[in-house]
């Protein structure tokens, strides 16, 4: 067994600049498949994946609502940094592992994208807008099933920036409990 997975984990970092080049159908299919293959608590498979092209007008509307909710002026970059595709994960409201499962699935898709040489960004900043006053409007627009809520999203594309991964301090975050 090679250490390819570890290399992909190490290489991944958030991409916040993209070219307009679209994903191929094969790339998109592989990434969505990685989400579907992610484990879920009790094998509930309660996640829904909404695939939205970056130039879809609904995303401009969402960007505007986000800007208004933050009391901001129009920003030079939108919340998904012009990525050609956004995958929205929603999950069942009343299942206790929905959030954990959504996080696992988005990370599986992120690593799948990275392994295909594609930049990607996990996006949670639209959570309050998508689950706020206009929730039913957006749920309908994104084909989110009834009694489901937005959890997390992944922007994917060909990155044009070259950020390195975040730093960490092992000692600050890890305790090894000796027998």
- For ligand FMN, the binding residues (CB under 6 A) are 13-14, 16, 121-125, 152, 163, 165-166
Minimal distance, residue 49 CB to ligand FMN, in Å: 16
What is the Cα 23 distance to its own chain's centre? Answer: 16
CB atoms inside a 10 Å sphere around CB 95:
18
The residue to which tokens 């609502």 are assigned: 65
Pick 11 or 179: Cβ nearer ligand FMN: 11
Minimal distance, residue 135 CB to ligand FMN, in Å: 18
Helical H segments across 25-120, by residue range: 25-36, 57-70, 98-115
Pick 78 or 139: Cβ nearer ligand FMN: 78
Minimal distance, residue 28 CB to ligand FMN, in Å: 21
Pick 117 or 124: Cβ nearer ligand FMN: 124
The torsion region of residue 33 among left (phi > 0), alpha (psi -120 to 50) and beta comes to alpha
Contact indicator for 67, 74 with CB cutoff of 8 Å: yes
Pick 146 or 172: Cβ nearer ligand FMN: 172
Minimal distance, residue 134 CB to ligand FMN, in Å: 18
> At residue 62, what are phi and psi to the nearest 5 degrees?
-65, -40
Pick 174 or 179: Cβ nearer ligand FMN: 174
Contact indicator for 50, 105 with CB cutoff of 8 Å: no
What DSSP designation does 159 have?
A: B
Minimal distance, residue 179 CB to ligand FMN, in Å: 33
């Amino acid at each position: 067994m090679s250490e390819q997975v570890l290399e992909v984990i190490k290489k991944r970092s958030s991409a916040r600049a993209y070219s307009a080049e679209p994903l191929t159908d094969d790339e998109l299919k592989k990434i969505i498949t990685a989400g579907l293959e992610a484990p879920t608590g009790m094998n509930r498979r309660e996640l829904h994946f909404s695939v939205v092209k970056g130039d879809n007008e609904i995303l401009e509307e969402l960007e505007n609502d986000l800007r208004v909710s933050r009391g901001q002026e129009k920003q030079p970059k939108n919340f998904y940094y012009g990525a050609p595709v956004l995958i929205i994960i929603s999950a069942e409201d009343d299942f206790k592992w929905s959030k954990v499962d959504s996080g696992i699935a988005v990370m599986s898709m992120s690593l799948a994208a990275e392994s295909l040489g594609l930049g990607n960004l996990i996006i949670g900043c639209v959570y309050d807008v998508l689950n706020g006053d206009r929730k039913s409007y957006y749920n309908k627009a994104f084909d989110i099933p009834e009694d489901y809520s937005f959890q997390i999203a992944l922007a994917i594309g060909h990155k044009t920036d070259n950020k390195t991964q975040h730093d960490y301090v092992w000692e600050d975050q890890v305790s090894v409990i000796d027998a």
